[in-house]
Structure 1
Amino acid sequence: MENFHYVLKNTTLSKKSKLIENLLKGNHSISNLKNKKGLLFSNAVLTKFIEKEVKHSSSTLTKKEKRSIRTFSSGEQKKALLNYLIENNPDFLVLESPFESLDQTSVKELKERLINLSKKITLIQIISRKEEILPIITHFLGIKKGKITNIIPIDNYRFTEDTVNFNCNIPKPITFYKNIPNLLISLQNVNVSYNDNHILNDINWNINKNEFWQLIGPNGSGKSTILSMIYGNNVKAFGQEVYLFGQKKGSGESIWEIKEKIGYFNPVMLELFQRSTTVKEMVISGFFDSIGLYKTPTILKEKLAVEWLKLLDLESKSKELFQNLSVVNQRLVLIARAMIKHPPLLILDEPLINLDDKSTQIITALINKIAQESNTTIIFVSHKTTKNLQPNFIYELIPSQKGSIGKILKSN
């Protein structure tokens, strides 16, 4: 008898949707899963196990290894969770964005595991992007208001891709920088180790004005280490051949003198942000290198923020609270915040993580536009190459026993 496996889009689920709960309880219209035992494989479930471990010192997922689950990589954590769920003999698994936050190697390993598992139990996959769909999926679930409305054979379902266009040009800068050399960043024979853990091995990477780079590599390959040497205060940068805007790191410049020349975005930068800030105030705050506005801006700065919101088609939301925006609109605003000064360097750290296809297209289109219409150099950081992104160069970190080596993959 053929096994049926199902897929549905994450975008069809609201934050308050009880669909997953109803699937697990049997309150649904999938006839072959009635009165069957289902379990959930998701980051939320994994987080609960981690929190339980912290509070009660109980290692449910890692009893055999005698290690804390927090010491595992993202791929190892998900593998441990899957093993635990399988041991509980479910009839089906609900897979909520199973590949999010994983590098290419971990994605490949998890896909192979799930494909083999599909021969024994039913899988219901919740996806953000079309490319994530497992090849064993047989049916698409249509969802409306948190309920299954139709079940369509996957071969009969058509995924649509909309073209994303921004109707305005990138606003012109009102902030100008002096004495910015052509060679913005230079890492020469950089090595980083923590005790016996080798992170980077003889990294040589030069980044010039007006270049668009994508930095890729698996989890643990050293991407965050490189960023911290450029943007942060990583002590491993001192005493090495690390040059930022013409000066050797540690030669007297302050961390703030470096940061004022860099626009920075990371999706987790708002985790502890609680202040009630309007959308326009969030964009303006980029002038002051703060998250949220704490100073009175000039009329010119306010005007420029409105121009950025007009570009993003968010002018009508300028007085709304930033926290009330959709995830993709929050990221658009934060990229505008990072760019409002037209900094010499823009660092975008995993800007597409946890986004669906449509949102990915929107953010990618904005980044390409910034690269084409401004003189800002871009470093775009991700686990892998990105569809439709148009970098001039790709710098790949390749792990080895002596630390990751660097390689330029492509130049246009």
Structure 2
Amino acid sequence: HPMSLSRQGEGSTTEGADEYVELDLDKTLTWTGNAVIVQRGSVFRLPLLVPYPSVLAIQFEVEGGYDIEFSLTFKEDNEDEAVVMVEPDRVTDREGQLDIDTTGVCEIIWSNEHSWISSKTLSYQLQLAPKLDMRWRKRMMAVVTAATDFRMLAAVEMAERIDEDLRSLKQRTSLLQQTITSSKERTAAAHAKHERYLSHVRRLEEEVEAAKQHADAAAQELREAHADEANATRSLASLEQMRHLDDELTPHVASMLERCDDPLAMIYEAYAGSLYAPEESDRGDSRSMLDRAELLHFLQDLDLIGRGDPPEILFAIFSGCSQQLTLDLFKRALMRAALILAPDNLDGTENAEQAQPEQKVMWLLRTLADKGKRVKLPVLDLRRRIETLQALEKIGEITLEFSNVKPPSNEIKAESQ
């Protein structure tokens, strides 16, 4: 059981140096009673609230050397019944300590029910000292550090995989082009085979069943070839489109980003160096630059991307950027993220037109402001966390201003042409 009572001098030391626990003497509580009369046939009970794991020191004596029955019970906070910790024993005095490793209510009982003639005069002193368990604090710090390291490692690994995608972009483009060429050849061959077997079916009725099976197989191959060609064409078109994301940076989009310069700069400074030790990122008077992993970490914290394998198109955010991002490159990367991550159909209707770049950037800004109301940001220190939440709140205020201002329709038409 987590508690034991020992006489002072016998069990006041713990079993080993590793089990030693310091006491918080500043929070020690003391109860003293002098000349407390316990009438004959009656019981004196003293309940003590134990709010922390503590050590209870007990000292009492009965005047005149008379005996009294002493016992002690403890009820933990999450238990319904009390447990007898010290069995009833008739003594004249007692001095010892009770080690309590949990919280609850400790009740000390002096019983004079065995005496039918005389009352007993009791004097006691009780001290309850909370324990300072340094091992528990170290374990908690280890748990928090492990969780933080996992989040940081996930962001860094994602950045490395995106670097690999960027390096292999030309190779993957060439392979897709080869696949398209090969698919066209297969399509032509499958089509010719399909026609040949169909003519056999028309000429030879006696072999209709066998020839029809060959024709069905050729038709399946034709469908697969068409599907491969269509998939490769779509993938190649998607890669080409991602490489020209900056073409959609219209003057109105640039104006929207300029309105958010201050809060975006606050986010940039809050996340710059956030994944690295303070002595490395904050050394000297120069400010840290934000890198790709920290931008990805920001998008992960706001639930805009997951912490698993990155989508293939995510490389377009960093196309043409170095590992370290300036503030301008950070804002350009956010604009690209809006164009990539925003749904094509923001209205949610089946026949709605594809969203314009301005609408996608507005979607990102509103999403950031909305996430800022609920996000916890556990990895950031207090200063960085406060700056980020203040910046997200400012973005929310700016988006409310945007809702009352619409860009000129002729400007959008001119840019789309």
Measured against the shorter chain, the TM-score band is under 0.3
Greater relative contact order (CA < 8 Å, ≥ 6 in sequence):
1
Q: Which structure's residues are more often helix, by fraction?
A: 2
Normalised to the residue count of structure 2, the TM-score between the two structures is 0.19
Normalised to the residue count of structure 1, the TM-score between the two structures is 0.19
